[in-house]
Structure 1
Amino acid sequence: MTTDHHITHIEVAPGFHPHERELAALLFWQAFRGKLGRIMWPEARALEFITSNLDPEFALAARDRNGNLLGMAGFKTAEGSLLGGGFSDLAASYGWVGALWRGPILELLERDIEDGVLLMDGIFVSKEARGRGVGTALLSAIVDTARHLRMSKVRLDVIDSNPRARALYERQGFVEISKEDVGLLRYLLHFRTSTRMQRALAS
């Protein structure tokens, strides 16, 4: 796929370069630290795990005209997801004891894929690039990716502590289809509900 998007000198293209891996991991952590911090802490080990397990095959990267990384969006299919890694990878970063309790909790946060539906697996933009249309460009590229893969819908989940992201998704045609209360996990995750949103794609 060679789909590129230009919005005020923003280009979105598949994957990320090897030299961008550490920055991509840092941006991912900054975006999701509020959600995952108590599970993935300490920060050094979280960054180690994320850096090792980001998969460029399931990433779309936004860059400025000078090639600087501004943000990324991930997606999940039956073949994999943006942040991969299994129990052994967790153990490599946190030790076996640390992996034993983190693994099941992270598994609870996983979202199942559906036939004909592309699952967006996270979107994050650097603080310096926010408000420049990067998120909109990445969402547009996710939709194009879904069409390229012959999917009929795009699905995502947004937490109640991130109203700004939900507003962006609504502007881009996503509608709420269900809401889930995380129950006692709220004490670990810093949010109470997760809303599933979906956008149907014209055939």
Structure 2
Amino acid sequence: MDDPVIDHGFTEAERPRVGALYWSAFGSKLRTAFRDDTTGRSQVTAGLRADRTLVARDHGAVIAVCGYHRDGHGAADLSWRRLRESLGVTAALRASVVLAPLDRQERSGVLVLDGVCVSAERRGRGIGSALLDAVTVYGAGLGHRWVQLSVIDTNPRAEALYRRCGFDVVGEGSVGALRHLYGFERYKTMRKRTGRW
């Protein structure tokens, strides 16, 4: 495989593929917010924002995605307004309550990531590292001093990747009794300096 081509955004034709990658990476945390797996995946896919993603392609095919927060919005729009319009009030209320503890807040000087999703058959080939390098350069270009992400205790492989890419743990937390809802109990917040300062 040649080095992947990494660009901003995705086309509407690529949306289902990007959604599938996102759901495979984050579905275990998000699925309890929705009636079923199909509903959750379709909501995440429909809500993805092309302007808040970096996408890696191999010969034109999407193989990995990195989402980030900017101007108050993450890579997937799962806002009350959008969920209410597509699911109705009751289902949207349930989804919003379940998703609220997972929300990540932006901070001055910090580019907050949703995380990295790499196609299962392409893992271990440096694609995740390449995406993290690219988003670090992007963050520096926006004037941020740091790139930040969170990693859950059930994903040690991701934590190992982030450490190899220069991220350090700056905080830890727990979802406590909600661990049965989300499928994990503890998480770590990790940051990497962009090199701008």
**TM range, smaller chain:** over 0.9
After TM superposition, give the deviation of residue 95 of structure 1 in Å: 2.8
Check if 1:154 corresponds to 2:137: no
Check if 1:189 corresponds to 2:176: no
Equivalent position amino acid for 1:78 in 2:
D
Which residue number in structure 2 is paired with residue 106 of structure 1?
99
Check if 1:178 corresponds to 2:171: yes
- Paired residues in the alignment total 196
After TM superposition, give the deviation of residue 133 of structure 1 in Å: 1.2
Using the size of structure 2 for normalisation, the TM-score is 0.94
**Superposed structure 1 runs of 4+ greater than 4 Å apart:** none
Which residue number in structure 1 is paired with residue 52 of structure 2?
58
CA RMSD of aligned residues (A): 1.5
Q: Specify every segment of 5 or more residues in structure 2 that has no aligned partner in the other structure, as ranges.
A: none
SS at match of 2:97: helix
Check if 1:22 corresponds to 2:43: no
Structure 2 counterparts to residues 70-109 of structure 1, below 5 A: 70-109=63-102
Equivalent position amino acid for 2:49 in 1:
D
Q: Specify every segment of 5 or more residues in structure 1 that has no aligned partner in the other structure, as ranges.
A: 1-6
After TM superposition, give the deviation of residue 127 of structure 1 in Å: 1.1
| Contact residue 87 and residue 103 of structure 1 kept, 8 A | yes
Provide closer, same or farther for how the CA distance between residues 133 and 161 of structure 1 changes in structure 2, counting only shifts above 3 A. Answer: same
- Identity over the aligned pairs, expressed in percent? 34
Check if 1:47 corresponds to 2:41: yes
After TM superposition, give the deviation of residue 131 of structure 1 in Å: 1.5
SS at match of 1:25: helix
Check if 1:115 corresponds to 2:108: yes
| Contact residue 28 and residue 182 of structure 2 kept, 8 A | yes
| Contact residue 48 and residue 93 of structure 1 kept, 8 A | no
After TM superposition, give the deviation of residue 77 of structure 1 in Å: 1.9
Q: Distance in 2 between matches of 1:92 and 1:42?
A: 18
